[in-house]
Amino acid sequence: MEQYPDYQTYEKLYKRFYSRPAGSLIELVGSVAGKRVLDLCGGSGRLSLEAARLGAEEVVLVDREERMMGLPAKLNPRIRVEVDTVDSYIKSSVKDKKQFDFIFCQQAVNYWLCEEIASFLAAFLRGGGVFVFNTFNKRPPEKPLVKEYQLDGDNFVEVSWLVGDIVHHVQVREGMPCHLTSFHWLSPERLARMLNPYFLLDVKVEGGASLYRCLKK
């Protein structure tokens, strides 16, 4: 996968993806006050910062790209940042028996969630723990799909297409270099098969996006 730009460039280039506030994922678990929170692929730290603001006792932000991690998150005493891939962090931390009350992954689960990792995830959660993520629920087409729109007076173009089970996505904003990224298509059926053995699923469908609340069994 191609590297992400620094977090300030990312926020401008992917402006449309900021329409869902981090708080809307946090709401699904009720209160995070006094709880231990893991923010996987946390990027700039918008969800980690919100969890810290809401009184989480400790927040661990994991992202494989240090330049995607925002300074406010790095400087927040309640947030510990770990530059690592989800796969390596989960496999190494499970041995240390680290546990969290809540695990979040906003707009990034398609990079890493698979049957093997799903089997480790529940071990990371305390009893009654919850894993929350959002993802898209419509299979992208093989023929490249072009979306053009304007935001803040700037022109944007997105091109997405599927090759096998890999989605390729090009993000363009006028005046900026483009960004190309690739991730897995995870169908609702595959997600249910991989998560059902470990979690009770509650899925909220909002058009082309789904919000998953996975309660540890």
Ligand X SMILES: C[S@@+](CC[C@H](N)C(=O)[O-])C[C@H]1O[C@@H](n2cnc3c(N)ncnc32)[C@H](O)[C@@H]1O
> What CA–CA distance (Å, rounded) separates 210 from 133?
8
User: CA torsion 103→63→194→126, rounded to 10°?
Assistant: -30
Site stretch for ligand X (CB under 6 A), options 63-71, 95-103, 135-143, 150-158: 63-71
44 near ligand X (CB under 6 A): yes
> What CA–CA distance (Å, rounded) separates 109 from 39?
11
Q: Do residues 209 and 203 lie in contact, with contact meaning Cβ atoms separated by under 8 Å?
A: no
Nearer to ligand X, 91 or 126 (CB): 91
Least separation in angstroms between CB 149 and ligand X: 18
Mask: binding to ligand X, 81-100, rule CB under 6 A, as x and -? ----xx--------------
68 near ligand X (CB under 6 A): yes
Nearer to ligand X, 108 or 196 (CB): 108
Nearer to ligand X, 34 or 107 (CB): 107
35 near ligand X (CB under 6 A): no
> What CA–CA distance (Å, rounded) separates 29 from 26?
6
107 near ligand X (CB under 6 A): yes
Site stretch for ligand X (CB under 6 A), options 42-50, 138-146, 165-173, 202-210: 42-50
106 near ligand X (CB under 6 A): yes
135 near ligand X (CB under 6 A): no
> What CA–CA distance (Å, rounded) separates 30 from 44?
23
> What CA–CA distance (Å, rounded) separates 68 from 56?
22
Least separation in angstroms between CB 212 and ligand X: 15
Residue among 13, 28, 38, 43 that touches ligand X (CB under 6 A) = 43
> What CA–CA distance (Å, rounded) separates 20 from 33?
22
> What CA–CA distance (Å, rounded) separates 30 from 213?
11
∠ Cα 83 65 167 (to 5°): 125
- 């401008």: which residue's tokens? 12
- Binding site residues, ligand X, CB under 6 A: 4, 41-44, 46, 62-65, 68, 85-86, 106-108, 111-112
